[in-house]
Amino acid sequence: MALIEGNSVRSTCRMTGIAKGTVLSLLADLGAICADYHDEHVRNVTAKRIQCDEIWSFCYGKEKNVSEEQKKKGAGSLWTWVGIDADSKLVVSYLCGGRDAAWARSFMEDVAARLATRVQITTDGHKAYIEAVEGAFGMDVDYALLIKLYGNPAQPDTRYSPGVCIGTESVQVIGNPDPAHISTSYVERQNLTMRMSLRRFTRLTNAFSKKIENHRHMLAIYYVYYNFCRVHQTLRVTPAMEAGLSNHVWSIGEMVSLLDKRSILHGLLKTA
């Protein structure tokens, strides 16, 4: 629970009295099973509107401070692609990697594979989305871009201070998207929730991920928690319940018990 409520690994160790190696071992084991659970069970989602966005983070060091050899091992900038159902708030798909066209294609193909209905998709103006959406959905989608227009910041030298958003421009790309629902507000709010919940995403700290594997494990745990355990304040149920993928609110213990179920399954396979 501590790791998905804004605490670093070391602070979790101090609060619980558990050794760092044990915490990291649990992170890896639970992360792997959570990734498998999401992949297997977040399928055939009945949705009407999907919003997609990317959120930046980094591993080991920022892009300018890592060598090419370190970059091959996952160091440098990381982008988490997120697709959310605007109605149920279910995170349908996520992918952690680069921000180029190849990663965009992989992400949108995964989104398409998890949906059971024709949807309206809204993304930001990142050009890689356009070809990726067409490749994944063909013409069987209503797709629009929402491009934000920024003015110059009042103090150009101020770090982490983007320009003020002075307006938006929507562009219909495929099909006939409803202008009233061309929005990325829900996915951007979810990204804020994630940045507040995962210490690895906190800016200007030394809590960033040191290994890309642990970064991805933490994301897998967070999204199962977000979908199945965390009651959405507006919905008053979890996103998975609203989407019809679950009939109750999961406890943290139930999420961790996925490890026991995997151990039992492996034991049965060995004896078979």
pLDDT tens profile 135-173:
999 999 999 999 877 776 655 555 555 667 777 788 999
Write out the two tokens for 83.
């697709």
For 4, the 3-state DSSP assignment is helix
* Mean pLDDT, the chain, whole residue set: 90
pLDDT single digits (tens) 203-249: 888 888 999 999 999 999 999 999 999 999 999 999 999 999 999 99
With CA atoms as reference, report the closest residue to 176 among 119, 251, 248: 119
How high is the pLDDT of residue 6?
A: 85
Alpha-carbon distance 144 to 184, whole Å? 11
Q: How far apart are CA 12 and CA 7, in angstroms?
A: 6
Contact 37, 224 (CB under 8 A): yes
Would you kindly state where each structural domain of the chain is located, as residue ranges? 2-271
Please say whether the beta carbons of 110 and 134 come within 8 A. Answer: no
CATH superfamily of 2-271: Ribonuclease H-like superfamily/Ribonuclease H (3.30.420.10)
Helix (H, G, I), strand (E, B), or coil: what is residue 254?
helix
Rounded Cα distance, 123 and 177, in Å: 12
State yes or no: pLDDT of 262 exceeds 70: no
Give the strand order in the sheet containing 49-59.
91-97, 76-85, 49-59, 120-123, 142-150, 165-174
Angle at 245 between CA 269 and CA 178, to 5 degrees: 135
The Cα–Cα gap between 34 and 262 comes to 11
| β-strand pairing of 91-97 with 76-85 | antiparallel
Tell me the two tokens of residue 27: 């992170």
The percent of the chain in helix, strand and coil, each rounded to the nearest 5, is 45, 20, 35
Global pTM reads: 0.88
Q: Give the Cα separation of 12 and 17 in Å (integer).
A: 8
Residue type present at position 235: L
* Sign for the pseudo-dihedral over CA of 58, 28, 107, 164: negative
From start to end of 98-246, where are the E strands? 120-123, 142-150, 165-174
What is the pLDDT, as a whole number, of residue 207? 85
